[in-house]
């Protein structure tokens, strides 16, 4: 489907040196230094379009935008693909609750998401792909999984057999009891009678009365969530079988570690015979004033509402970057105030002709980003540079720093 508006990324001078990027790999809980190569493949799980875009979404997509920007600034090609789950239970349930057509709800929320991403200056994916448009791909994948004895039928619904993957569980590393609990909370049906393993996820749901469905060789029905992302990633990331891993980065919020990313990786493993992602990278959850931000508590902070109330999207971006991306964190309005102060300072100082030295701050920003996106350190560096300029240090190039901040951090001054 149509992505959002392309973002201009200024070039960065070749005298700046880019160390290899390290990211925290959730499957090992350790830092992983990405090998230097010409092409990186990154898949980021997108929204289910019924409630776009709260601050948790914004924090996640900014995180992967920083990775994308770093690799692009290194001069590499980044195949970046993101999906939109434009048919799934939460969307259908919300449409029924609100008395609207699920397609209209999806279209309106996807449009809002595009506008939010544009406001946040997030570079759009190379391919932005919807679940509905991917149904033929899903059907092909399920048929392929059938030939590999990884599919079975429960009253017309098709399930993936996790036991077919000897490495099942290796990416999320959770005890079975925890997996069972989370599966039930996040769309799974571990108690359904007739399943070979309670954790087996749905690949294809047989048509239910009143639900949308699509005809085909699997019978009339609709796709499961995990196989959707797996099918899109395998097709649009043009995986190179000569590589050790099918893709470099599987990204998303930390609530996707299990079951979503475990299942996607298992399915891709069975389909291809190869390990799926080199690194599973996850952004932490954002809470509000000491409480988890959730639909049920009704305390989601939406980006569009913040912007309507006068917040500068670049200040929101800075505020979300003042934390380590992987940490769960609390949002307070004071965060936005502090970020707005830094943004105002940068806007004012970068308009001057005489500023504090900039080469060293740009180099240090690059190094900090290479170390698992140490954005709190980056914010410190920017504050220190502002103070140095305000106290009269000179010798820098304001234009070059402004461009570097735009290129590397996505902050357009």
Contacts with Zn ion, residue ranges (CB under 5 A)? 45, 229
Q: Specify the residue, 145 or 257, whose C-beta has the smaller distance to Zn ion.
A: 257
Minimum distance from residue 26 beta carbon to Zn ion (Å): 14
Query: b/e for 125-141, b at 16 or more Cβ within 10 A?
Result: bbbbbbbbebbebbbbb
- Packing angle, helices 55-73 and 102-119, rounded to 10: 50
Determine phi and psi for 287, rounding to 5 degrees. -105, 180
Strand, coil or helix: what is 346?
helix
Q: Specify the residue, 114 or 282, whose C-beta has the smaller distance to Zn ion.
A: 282
Minimum distance from residue 229 beta carbon to Zn ion (Å): 3
Q: Tokens in use for 253?
A: 């919020």
Minimum distance from residue 405 beta carbon to Zn ion (Å): 31
Minimum distance from residue 45 beta carbon to Zn ion (Å): 3
Residues 6+ apart with CB under 8 A from 366: 16, 17, 18, 19, 73, 408
Question: Residues 81, 42: contact at Cβ < 8 Å?
Answer: yes
Q: Tokens in use for 358?
A: 């900039």
Question: Residues 267, 226: contact at Cβ < 8 Å?
Answer: yes
Residues 6+ apart with CB under 8 A from 363: 16, 17
Minimum distance from residue 352 beta carbon to Zn ion (Å): 45
Q: Tokens in use for 132?
A: 């509905």
Minimum distance from residue 257 beta carbon to Zn ion (Å): 11
Minimum distance from residue 311 beta carbon to Zn ion (Å): 29
Give me the helices (H) in 153-257, please: 176-185, 225-236
Q: Specify the residue, 259 or 396, whose C-beta has the smaller distance to Zn ion.
A: 259
Q: Specify the residue, 45 or 404, whose C-beta has the smaller distance to Zn ion.
A: 45
Q: Specify the residue, 46 or 124, whose C-beta has the smaller distance to Zn ion.
A: 46
Q: Specify the residue, 45 or 405, whose C-beta has the smaller distance to Zn ion.
A: 45
Question: Residues 229, 264: contact at Cβ < 8 Å?
Answer: yes
Distance CA 151, CA 281 (A): 28
Q: Specify the residue, 253 or 396, whose C-beta has the smaller distance to Zn ion.
A: 253
Question: Residues 365, 404: contact at Cβ < 8 Å?
Answer: yes
Query: b/e for 7-31, b at 16 or more Cβ within 10 A?
Result: bebeebeeeeebeebbbbbbbeeee
Minimum distance from residue 83 beta carbon to Zn ion (Å): 6
Determine phi and psi for 411, rounding to 5 degrees. -100, 105
Q: Specify the residue, 168 or 225, whose C-beta has the smaller distance to Zn ion.
A: 225
Minimum distance from residue 43 beta carbon to Zn ion (Å): 8
Q: Specify the residue, 59 or 229, whose C-beta has the smaller distance to Zn ion.
A: 229
């Amino acid at each position: 489907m149509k992505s959002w508006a392309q973002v201009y990324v200024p070039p960065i001078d070749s005298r700046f040196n880019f160390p290899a990027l390290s990211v925290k790999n959730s499957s090992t809980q350790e830092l992983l230094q990405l090998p230097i190569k010409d092409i990186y493949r990154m898949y980021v799980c997108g929204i289910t379009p019924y409630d776009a875009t709260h601050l948790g979404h914004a924090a996640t997509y900014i995180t992967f935008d920083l990775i994308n920007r770093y690799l692009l600034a290194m001069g590499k090609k980044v195949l970046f693909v993101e999906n939109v789950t434009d048919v799934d239970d939460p969307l259908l349930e919300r449409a029924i609750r609100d008395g609207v057509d699920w397609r209209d709800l999806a279209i309106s929320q996807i449009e809002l998401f595009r506008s939010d991403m544009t406001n946040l200056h997030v570079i759009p994916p190379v391919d932005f792909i919807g679940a509905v448009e991917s149904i033929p791909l899903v059907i092909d994948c399920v048929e392929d999984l059938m030939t590999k004895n990884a599919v079975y039928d429960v009253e017309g619904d098709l399930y993936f057999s996790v036991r077919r993957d000897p490495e099942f569980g290796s990416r999320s590393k959770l005890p079975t009891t925890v997996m069972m609990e989370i599966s039930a909370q996040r769309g799974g049906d571990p108690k359904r009678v007739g399943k070979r393993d309670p954790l087996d996820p749905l690949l294809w749901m047989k048509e239910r009365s009143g639900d949308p469905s699509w005809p085909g060789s699997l019978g009339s029905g609709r796709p499961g969530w995990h196989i959707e992302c797996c099918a899109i990633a395998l097709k649009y990331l043009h995986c190179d079988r000569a590589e050790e891993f099918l893709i470099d980065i599987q990204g998303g919020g930390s609530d996707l570690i299990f079951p979503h990313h475990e299942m996607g990786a298992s399915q891709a493993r069975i389909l291809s015979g190869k390990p799926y992602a080199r690194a599973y990278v996850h952004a932490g959850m954002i809470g509000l004033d000491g409480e988890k931000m959730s639909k049920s508590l009704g305390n989601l902070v939406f980006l569009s509402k913040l912007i309507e109330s006068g917040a500068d999207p670049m200040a929101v971006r800075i505020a979300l970057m003042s934390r380590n991306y992987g940490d769960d964190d609390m949002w307070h309005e004071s965060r936005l105030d502090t970020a707005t102060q830094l943004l105002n300072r940068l806007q004012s100082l970068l308009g001057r002709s005489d500023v504090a030295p900039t080469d060293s701050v740009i180099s240090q920003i690059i190094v900090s980003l290479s170390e698992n996106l140490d954005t709190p350190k980056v914010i410190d560096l920017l504050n220190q540079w502002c103070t140095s300029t305000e106290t009269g240090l000179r010798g820098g190039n304001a234009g070059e720093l402004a461009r570097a901040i735009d290129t590397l951090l996505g902050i357009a001054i």
